[in-house]
Amino acid sequence: MIRFALSRLAQVLFTIWAITVLVFALSHATGSPLDTLLPDDATPEQIAALTSRLGLDQPYHIQYLRFLGSALQGDFGDSLRWRGEPALGLVLDRLPATLSLGGLAVLISLAVALPLGVVAATRKDSWIDLLARAIALLGQAIPAFWLGIVLIWVFAVWLQWLPTSGQGGLRHMILPAIAIAWFQIAALVRLTRSAMLDVLDTEYVKLARIKGLAESRVVWKHAFVNAASVPLTYFGILAGSVLTGSIVVETVFSWPGTGWLAIEAIRGRDFPVIQAVVLFFAVIFLAANYLVDLLYAWLDPRVRHG
């Protein structure tokens, strides 16, 4: 188990390193940051001074090592758009808003998708199974940003039950959380349903039935616990889709989180902030997947010895 954990950790660190190279290469592939930092009529002396201060006269590998060194200390430089603010500080300030929204979205998707998937599998071809399959199909076909706009139109503009956008309390979080959860519900329902169908067909579930156990006990105690490892693998992907969803949905609902910050930074060509967001998101995503891998290996010995 420990060997498995360490070798996976090495892979994660290697991937993070690869991402730092990618981020560094991209930010240098597009002309020098001097154009955005200096006015058009800057004198040659000003240009030379800033070039040497930022270390842009050094060879690329030295520049990369300097970038890596400061990034490891959490220093991505100051934001260009929000003058004087450190880039990582901006990201961390916005993080709680994103995490609370993402957390609510994950709760909603689990609360809806797991029961629906289990019931759909136990009553195959009933109306509830048809509903589950319809949701799974529609979930892949509806773009999250459009769903967000339609939700605003129906629940905020037409019915006037909930606010259209902005931050403040649970009422503001319901619509954006549903917009993020929608895609996850579709995927989780599909996975849970097919995993349950497989498990319900096994010998030990038949034995439990022959023993005369109550059907609810057979389904939830014997079948679901064994089927649950399949949706569990999906949790790593879930972390990714929460991050992706946050960027799109926060923009639609003007929710002041990290995703919205990222879009604002792109519009303002704010390299330091984008670098901080990309690396920060990558670390969160990889850490979530690492934990899922460990949990999975712990539950299923075949994984850690395979």
Q: Which residues bind other proteins (CB under 8 A)?
A: 11-12, 15, 18-19, 22-23, 26-27, 29-30, 137-138, 140-146, 149-150, 152-153, 157, 164, 240, 243-244, 247-248, 251-252, 262-263, 265-267, 269-271, 274, 277-278, 281-282, 285-286, 289
In angstroms, the CA 88 to CA 219 distance is 47
User: Among residues 164 and 167, whose Cβ is nearest to other proteins?
Assistant: 164
Q: Minimum distance from CB of 23 to other proteins (Å)?
A: 6
User: Among residues 153 and 298, whose Cβ is nearest to other proteins?
Assistant: 153
Q: Minimum distance from CB of 137 to other proteins (Å)?
A: 7
Q: Minimum distance from CB of 262 to other proteins (Å)?
A: 6
- C-alpha Rg value of the chain to the nearest Å: 24
In angstroms, the CA 161 to CA 154 distance is 9
Please provide the size of the chain in residues: 306
User: What tokens appear for 30 in the block?
Assistant: 């597009």
CA dihedral 74, 75, 77, 79 (to 10 degrees): 30
| Residue labelled with tokens 């603010």 | 85
Q: Minimum distance from CB of 119 to other proteins (Å)?
A: 21
In angstroms, the CA 25 to CA 21 distance is 6
In angstroms, the CA 139 to CA 182 distance is 6
In angstroms, the CA 258 to CA 238 distance is 17
Q: Minimum distance from CB of 214 to other proteins (Å)?
A: 29
User: Among residues 166 and 214, whose Cβ is nearest to other proteins?
Assistant: 166
User: Among residues 193 and 222, whose Cβ is nearest to other proteins?
Assistant: 193
Q: Minimum distance from CB of 143 to other proteins (Å)?
A: 5
In angstroms, the CA 293 to CA 178 distance is 27
In terms of Cβ atoms closer than 10 Å to its own Cβ (0-12, 13-18, 19+), residue 116 is buried
Cβ atoms of 258 and 91 closer than 8 Å:
yes
Residue 86 has φ and ψ, to the nearest 5°, of -65, 140
User: Among residues 119 and 242, whose Cβ is nearest to other proteins?
Assistant: 242
**What is the DSSP secondary structure assignment for residue 159, as one 8-state letter?**
S
User: Among residues 18 and 111, whose Cβ is nearest to other proteins?
Assistant: 18
DSSP labels for 161-210? -S-SSS-SHHHHHHHHHHHHHHHHHHHHHHHHHHHHHHHHTSHHHHHHHH
Q: Minimum distance from CB of 157 to other proteins (Å)?
A: 5
User: Among residues 163 and 222, whose Cβ is nearest to other proteins?
Assistant: 163
Q: Minimum distance from CB of 216 to other proteins (Å)?
A: 27
User: Among residues 15 and 167, whose Cβ is nearest to other proteins?
Assistant: 15
In angstroms, the CA 38 to CA 269 distance is 14
